[in-house]
Structure 1
Amino acid sequence: MTDYDAVFWDVGGVLLDVSSVREAHAAFVERLLAENDIDATADESLDVWRNVVGRHFRERDGTEFRSARTAYGLAVDEVLARDVPEDEWFPLFRATVREHLRPNPGAREVTARLADAGVYQGIVSDADADEGEFILEHLEVREHVDDVTTSEAVGRTKPDLAMFEAALEKSPIPAEGTVMVGDRYEHDMAGAARHGIHPVSHGAEDGSAVEYVVDDPRGVLAVVGVDD
């Protein structure tokens, strides 16, 4: 028997090491400059990249979904100072990301252990649908996950209740039997709590919504009640 029968996972910062994302983007920008013979430093161009991507997301209306791939394309145009077709830059981006992205320690182990214990596992992520699937496959956790709910599919981002409603509709387990593991307080902890899901903080700010705190994804095993 387990204390909870379902786990909803955030991806970035929980299953995915976010520092590896930053490394991947820096490496991509450096390769982009080299392949296009651009007279700019990697640091300058990385600042441009980050500013464009950040502005793309800051300008969204409330919790509306905005595509990360669109943001990256806009950033590439700015770095290279021209309109660049996606098929010109995206293969290099995907190859670079594949080289750098890595899971947080324990991510593969805990998802496999939970799957073996019969615990339902869902992803609740603000990612683009295709990119989310790619990351989960790359991290070697997709085979252990029952379903994936992305902001692209729902059209909203966390903490919009539509995200959690969509995930619960696909799950055989009600909210009271479900935990949400995330690294952002308002998006993951407070958003889940407003829907009756039990929040588990993995690096999120402390607050009244947090019921459990873990510093390693494997700590979720004890929360759920899967014996070591």
Structure 2
Amino acid sequence: MSGCESTDGWEAVFWDIGGVILALDSVQRAHAEFVARLLEHHGIETTLEAAIDTWQTTVGEYFRERDGTEFRAAREAYHRGIEAIVGEEVPRDEWHPHVDDVIRSSLEPVSGAPETIARLADRDVHVGVVSDIDDAEGRAILEGFGVCKHLDSMTTSEEVGRTKPDPAIFETALEKADAEPGRSLMIGDRYTHDVKGAAEVGMCGVAFGADDGPAVSYRIDTPEEVLEILDGEQPDTA
């Protein structure tokens, strides 16, 4: 079930953030760093491991409770995680600056992704992001990686109100790009959410670490291989 209609004349390239532009192992380290700061700031006597477990459990439960593809803000999940660790509500203006600092200092890009996006910006193709992330957090991450200035559009679940694989988020991105689905690539690390979701609206799904399946039009091992797809040097897998 590949969404591709054409393998030439590409009009748009869309990127997921987590696992595609943003290295997921750095996210785990960043959360651990934030929790460590939280313990120190509030003088909480518990182990870092126990606090991280509380954080992951609370944040995970918040997202699992959502209704289908309904958007839920990460900032609310963080707020609940902090309250669970500290034992009382902590005002957002007290903890949010620490989150911003961790984003700037701890998060790392996937090797080659920022450079590839910069190279795409020099081509006659729309370059966009389609992500389930909060608006502000997404922009902070991409600005930190030097990517924002190379993007033509950014479409988030907070903006649309739905998460992938809901067709609304892909359709919104395509509308911004004024691009035909079959001439648009969607690069993602999750088969159902990114690749299959994009294919169901007629886009060409590019698997970057995602599971295999009939919706995969292309599979890449490095971000740079996206350039090969645009140049017609990599055969599709449909």
Task: State TM-score, norm by structure 1.
Answer: 0.97
Written as runs of structure 1 = structure 2, the 5 A alignment for 1:118-137 is: 118-137=124-143
- Structure 2: unaligned runs, 5 residues or longer: 1-7, 234-238
Query: 1:85 maps to which residue?
Result: 91
Query: 1:197 maps to which residue?
Result: 203
Residue 97 of structure 1: CA displacement?
2.1
Distance 2:145 2:166 in 1: 27
Query: 1:157 maps to which residue?
Result: 163
Contact 1:190–1:209 (CA under 8 A) maintained in structure 2: yes
Residue number among 24, 43, 48 corresponding to 1:42 in the alignment? 48
Contact 1:3–1:223 (CA under 8 A) maintained in structure 2: no
Residue number among 166, 172, 183 corresponding to 1:177 in the alignment? 183
Distance 1:127 1:109 in 2: 22
Distance 2:184 2:99 in 1: 35
Residue 157 of structure 1: CA displacement?
0.2
Residue 109 of structure 1: CA displacement?
1.1
Distance 1:11 1:108 in 2: 11
- Structure 1: unaligned runs, 5 residues or longer: none
**Do structure 1's residue 115 and structure 2's residue 115 form an aligned pair?**
no
> Which residue identity lines up with residue 139 of structure 2 in the other structure?
E
3-state DSSP of counterpart to 1:211: strand
Contact 2:196–2:215 (CA under 8 A) maintained in structure 1: yes
Deviations 1:23-73 (A, max 9, x none): 000011011101111000000000000001100100000000000010001
3-state DSSP of counterpart to 1:123: strand
Query: 1:6 maps to which residue?
Result: 12
3-state DSSP of counterpart to 2:186: strand
- The runs of at least 4 consecutive aligned structure 1 residues that moved more than 6 Å come to none
**Do structure 1's residue 57 and structure 2's residue 93 form an aligned pair?**
no
Distance 1:163 1:104 in 2: 23
Contact 2:11–2:180 (CA under 8 A) maintained in structure 1: no
Distance 1:24 1:158 in 2: 24
Contact 1:5–1:224 (CA under 8 A) maintained in structure 2: no
Query: 1:224 maps to which residue?
Result: 230
> Which residue identity lines up with residue 219 of structure 1 in the other structure?
E
Q: Percent identity among equivalent residues?
A: 49
Residue number among 207, 214, 225 corresponding to 2:213 in the alignment? 207
Distance 2:144 2:156 in 1: 17
Query: 1:186 maps to which residue?
Result: 192
For the aligned residue pairs, the C-alpha RMSD in angstroms reads 1.4
Residue number among 151, 158, 168 corresponding to 2:174 in the alignment? 168
